[in-house]
Amino acid sequence: MKQKTCCFTGHRDIPLGDYQLIFDKTEEIVERLIKKGYLYFGAGGALGFDTIAALAVLKLKEHYPDIRLILVLPCRFQTRGWASEDVKIYENIKEQADKFVYTSEEYTRGCMHKRNRHLVDNSSACIAYLTESKGETAYTVDYAAKHGLTVRLLVICKGRNTMKKKLIISLIAVILVLGVAFAIGALVKENKDTLQDMIIRIESAIKEVLGDDVKKQTETIVVGTLKYADKEGNEINYHILKTTYYEADPSEITGLNVDALGVLINPDSANRCKEMKIKNWDAALYEFDEHSYLCWTDTPEISYVLEYGSEAVPDEEIVKMAESAETLERNK
């Protein structure tokens, strides 16, 4: 059973804007483990990530009825002092769980610690939401790694691009405009002249709200790939990406151009993301099952990606390679 069991550990405090991202990523990793034969998923019942993880498992049970959610609770009165809405969610999860156990009857200073060790001791994999180097979550991740568990760190890498956010906001505005317009249309649909006038107003509203955003914003292509091999023959691909700006403003790109990476990878699907610096450039290392990608942006127009085998080449060697790489000469 242990070889088919995965546990969760993570922070209680989660930025409000990250909830959906973390839920989606957790669901994706859990589903991947299910396809590898994992059946049992242990959550600690706490606020924050524990709750997200439990809800993700319950959602996946709709498609994978054989999986089991096991709540490992630190004591019988864990919810004492919680907000009433949080208690309702907790009780709802508890009712739907396949099993729940208490590692202690009463609350003590060490009961949370005991709960976390129990989760790790009975699992072979651990999905962790870890953003701090200290605290109980950091301890649990370290404890899991030392005891041979496969640890999947769930880290949300946020791009610094603003173009996509602006476009989303614009689209929301259009949806609101259309919603009002169609509501009006329902009242005047019998009058053809009035309806035609409404259509014209809708078209004008869309043009006014979106403006040039409906036009092509950017285009990124791989302009070249240099192939290398280390002493053991492991292949390393050095991709050069070029972004052309049409309606978008390149000055809005500060740091890593995450949108440009989409021609090679989907950053949101990475098992792990580690942000860093390559020389003076913002960079990120995205790890997938078989390959890893070290990415950085020199200018809004030019980005670089080093692709290599996740287990074949040490990350440190790739970072050294990136720091010694020459960039394209900029057009004057």
- Tell me if 136 sits within 8 A of 93, measured CB to CB: no
Write down the pLDDT at residue 172: 47
Q: How many residues does the chain have?
A: 332
How far apart, in whole angstroms, are the C-alpha atoms of residue 277 and residue 229? 24
Extents of the domains making up the chain: 2-153, 163-214, 218-324
Side-by-side strand order, sheet with 281-287 = 218-229, 235-245, 302-309, 291-297, 281-287, 272-278
Write down the pLDDT at residue 191: 45
Write down the pLDDT at residue 46: 93
Write down the pLDDT at residue 130: 84
- pTM to 2 decimal places: 0.54
Digit-by-digit pLDDT tens for the chain (332 residues) are 889 999 999 999 888 778 888 899 899 999 999 999 999 999 999 999 999 999 999 999 999 999 999 999 999 988 988 989 999 999 999 999 999 999 999 888 889 999 999 999 999 999 999 887 778 888 898 899 888 888 887 755 554 444 444 444 444 444 444 454 444 444 444 444 454 555 455 555 545 555 544 456 788 898 888 888 767 778 889 999 999 988 778 887 888 888 889 888 888 778 888 888 888 888 999 988 888 999 999 888 999 999 998 788 888 888 888 888 665 544 43
Name 49's Cβ contacts closer than 8 Å, sequence gap at least 6.
8, 9, 10, 11, 12, 14, 22, 26, 129
Write down the pLDDT at residue 18: 83
Write down the pLDDT at residue 207: 52
Write down the pLDDT at residue 215: 55
How far apart, in whole angstroms, are the C-alpha atoms of residue 327 and residue 298? 7
Q: DSSP per residue over 158-181, as a string? A: -----HHHHHHHHHHHHHHHHHHH
Would you give the end-to-end CA distance of the chain in angstroms?
Answer: 63
What's the CATH number for 2-153?
Answer: 3.40.50.450
- For residue 139, the one-letter residue type is Y
Write down the pLDDT at residue 233: 79
Q: DSSP per residue over 84-149, as a string? A: HHHHHHHHHHHHH-SEEEES-SS--TTHHHHHHHHHHHT-SEEEEE---SSSHHHHHHHHHHHTT-
